[in-house]
Amino acid sequence: MTSPEPEIRLATDADAPAIAETFLASRAGMTYLPRLHSDEETGTWMTEVMLPTHEAIVALADGEVLGFAALGADMLDHLYVRPEAQNRGVGTKLLTESMRLRPGGLQLWVFQQNTGARGLYERHGFEILELGDGSGNEEGLPDAKYGWPGISSKRTQ
Domains of the chain in start order, with CATH, are 7-154 (3.40.630.30)
- Read off the amino acid at residue 27: R
Neighbour-count burial of 12, counting CB atoms closer than 10 A to its CB (0-12 exposed, 13-18 middle, 19+ buried): exposed
Do residues 67 and 9 touch, judged by C-beta distance below 8 A?
no
Query: What tens-digit pLDDT sequence spans the chain (157 residues)?
Result: 455 689 999 999 999 999 999 999 999 999 999 999 999 999 999 999 999 999 999 999 999 999 999 999 999 999 999 999 999 999 999 999 999 999 999 999 999 999 999 999 999 999 999 999 999 999 999 999 999 986 654 444 3
143: which residues sit within 8 A by CB, 6+ positions away?
Answer: 109, 110, 111, 112, 131, 132, 134, 136, 137
Count of Cβ atoms closer than 10 Å to residue 56 Cβ: 21
Question: How many residues make up the chain in this entry?
Answer: 157
